[in-house]
A and B are shown apart, each in its own frame.
Chain A
Amino acid sequence: MLAVNFLILAAVLFSIGVFGVIARRNAVMVLMSVELVLNSVMLNLVAFSQITDSIDGQLFALFVIAIAAAEVGVGLAMVLMVYRNRRSIALDELSEMKG
Chain B
Amino acid sequence: MGVNTIPSGWFLENAWLIALIPAIGFAAIIAFGKKLPMKGSEIGLASITASLVISVGAAVQWIQRTNFVDETTEGYVEPVIKTWTWWQSGGVEFGLGQHIDGLAVLLLLLVAFISLLVQIFSLEYLRGDRRYTHFFAALTLFSSGMLVMVLAENMVQIILGWELMGLCSFLLIGHWWEDGANSRAALKAFFTVRVGDVGLLVGTAIVFFGAHQWAVDNLDSHGFSVQAISAWALSGDASSSALLWGSVALFIAAIGKSGQFPLHTWLPDAMAGPTPVSSLLHSSTMVVAGVFLVARLYPLFWEGLSIGPGAINLIAIIGVITLIVAALLAFVQNDIKKVLAYSTVSQLGYMMLGLGTGAWLPAVFHIFTHAFFKCALFLCAGSVSHSGSHHSFDMKKDMGGLARKMPITAGTWIISTLALAGIFPLSGFFSKDEIIANVGYNGYNLFMWLAFLGAFMTAAYMARATYLTFFGTPRGAAAGEHHDEHHGDDAHGDDAHGDDAHGDDAHADAHAEHHGSHGPHESGPLILVPIVVLTFLASIAGFTNAVPFGENFEILKRYVEPRAEVVAIEDTRLTIAGGPGQSVGSLAPQAKYDDACGFAAPPEGTVCLFPAVSHAPFKWSKGFLALGIVGAGLVSSWLFSVALYTRRDRRLVGLTERFAPARWGYQFLWNKYYLDHLYEKVIVRAVAYPIAASAYWFNQKVLDRIVDTAGTSTRQAGEFVYRNIDQTLVDGAVNASGFVASETGHALQPVQSGKVNQYGALLFGAAAVAAIVLVIINV
Q: How far is the CB of A94 from chain B (nearest CB, A)?
A: 6
Q: How large is the interface on B (under 10, 10 to 19, 20 to 34, 35 or more residues)?
A: 10 to 19
Q: How far is the CB of A61 from chain B (nearest CB, A)?
A: 22
CA A14 to CA B510, docked complex, whole Å: 113
B754 and A22 contact, CB distance less than 8 A: no
Which of B754, B760, B761 is A97 in contact with, Cβ under 8 Å?
Answer: B754
Residues of A within 8 A of B756 (CB): 30, 91, 94
B757 and A23 contact, CB distance less than 8 A: yes
Q: How far is the CB of A89 from chain B (nearest CB, A)?
A: 11
Which of B749, B753, B760 is A21 in contact with, Cβ under 8 Å?
Answer: B760
Residues of B within 8 A of A94 (CB): 754-756
Which of A21, A96, A97, A99 is B757 in contact with, Cβ under 8 Å?
Answer: A21
A25 and B757 contact, CB distance less than 8 A: yes
Interface residues of A in 22-44 (CB under 8 A from B): 22-25, 30
Q: How far is the CB of A26 from chain B (nearest CB, A)?
A: 10
Interface residue A87 (Cβ < 8 Å from any Cβ of B): no
B761 and A96 contact, CB distance less than 8 A: no
Interface residue B720 (Cβ < 8 Å from any Cβ of A): no
Interface residue B764 (Cβ < 8 Å from any Cβ of A): yes
Q: How far is the CB of A12 from chain B (nearest CB, A)?
A: 16
Residues of A within 8 A of B752 (CB): 98-99
Residues of A within 8 A of B755 (CB): 91-92, 94-95
Residues of B within 8 A of A97 (CB): 754
Known contacts A99-B749, A99-B752; A24/B764 CB under 8 A: no
Interface residue A18 (Cβ < 8 Å from any Cβ of B): yes
Q: Which of A25, A91, A96, A97 gathers the greatest number of chain B CB atoms within 10 Å?
A: A91
Q: How large is the interface on A (under 10, 10 to 19, 20 to 34, 35 or more residues)?
A: 10 to 19
Chain B residue at smallest Cβ distance from A94: B756
B753 and A95 contact, CB distance less than 8 A: yes
Interface residues of B in 728-779 (CB under 8 A from A): 749, 752-757, 760-761, 764
Residues of B within 8 A of A98 (CB): 749, 752-754
CA A94 to CA B755, docked complex, whole Å: 7
B754 and A95 contact, CB distance less than 8 A: yes
Residues of A within 8 A of B760 (CB): 21-22, 30
CA A94 to CA B752, docked complex, whole Å: 13
Q: How far is the CB of A41 from chain B (nearest CB, A)?
A: 14
Which of B749, B753, B764 is A22 in contact with, Cβ under 8 Å?
Answer: B764
B754 and A91 contact, CB distance less than 8 A: no
Q: How far is the CB of B743 from chain A (nearest CB, A)?
A: 14
A21 and B754 contact, CB distance less than 8 A: no
Chain B residue at smallest Cβ distance from A99: B749
CA A84 to CA B653, docked complex, whole Å: 121
Known contacts A99-B749, A99-B752; A18/B764 CB under 8 A: yes
CA A65 to CA B198, docked complex, whole Å: 89
A59-71 interface code vs B (CB 8 A; 1 in, 0 out)? 0000000000000
Q: How far is the CB of A97 from chain B (nearest CB, A)?
A: 6
CA A18 to CA B761, docked complex, whole Å: 9
Q: How far is the CB of A3 from chain B (nearest CB, A)?
A: 22
Q: How far is the CB of B777 from chain A (nearest CB, A)?
A: 22
CA A95 to CA B757, docked complex, whole Å: 11
Q: How far is the CB of B402 from chain A (nearest CB, A)?
A: 91
CA A18 to CA B764, docked complex, whole Å: 8
CA A10 to CA B764, docked complex, whole Å: 17
Q: How far is the CB of A27 from chain B (nearest CB, A)?
A: 8
Chain A residue at smallest Cβ distance from B768: A18
CA A93 to CA B761, docked complex, whole Å: 17
CA A22 to CA B764, docked complex, whole Å: 9
Residues of B within 8 A of A91 (CB): 755-757
Chain B residue at smallest Cβ distance from A92: B755
Q: How far is the CB of B745 from chain A (nearest CB, A)?
A: 10
CA A94 to CA B756, docked complex, whole Å: 8
B757 and A24 contact, CB distance less than 8 A: yes
Residues of B within 8 A of A22 (CB): 757, 760-761, 764
Q: How far is the CB of B453 from chain A (nearest CB, A)?
A: 88
CA A30 to CA B754, docked complex, whole Å: 16
B496-509 interface code vs A (CB 8 A; 1 in, 0 out)? 00000000000000
Residues of B within 8 A of A95 (CB): 753-755
Interface residues of B in 349-363 (CB under 8 A from A): none
CA A92 to CA B753, docked complex, whole Å: 10
B764 and A96 contact, CB distance less than 8 A: no
CA A30 to CA B759, docked complex, whole Å: 13
Q: How far is the CB of B767 from chain A (nearest CB, A)?
A: 10
Chain A residue at smallest Cβ distance from B745: A99
Chain B residue at smallest Cβ distance from A24: B757
Chain B residue at smallest Cβ distance from A37: B764
CA A30 to CA B756, docked complex, whole Å: 10
B679-705 interface code vs A (CB 8 A; 1 in, 0 out)? 000000000000000000000000000
Chain A residue at smallest Cβ distance from B767: A18
CA A3 to CA B757, docked complex, whole Å: 33
- Residues of A whose CB lies within 8 Å of any CB of B are 18, 21-25, 30, 91-92, 94-99
* Other A-B pairs, 16, CB within 8 Å; known A95-B754, A98-B752, A98-B753: A21-B757, A21-B760, A21-B764, A22-B757, A22-B764, A30-B756, A92-B755, A92-B757, A94-B754, A94-B756, A95-B755, A96-B754, A97-B754, A99-B749, A99-B752, A99-B754
Listed by A's residue number, 30 A-B pairs whose Cβ atoms lie within 8 Å are A18-B764, A21-B757, A21-B760, A21-B764, A22-B757, A22-B760, A22-B761, A23-B757, A24-B757, A25-B757, A30-B756, A30-B760, A91-B755, A91-B756, A92-B755, A92-B757, A94-B754, A94-B755, A94-B756, A95-B753, A95-B754, A95-B755, A96-B754, A97-B754, A98-B749, A98-B752, A98-B753, A98-B754, A99-B749, A99-B752
- Top 7 closest A-B pairs, CB basis? A98-B754, A95-B754, A22-B761, A99-B749, A91-B756, A21-B760, A95-B755
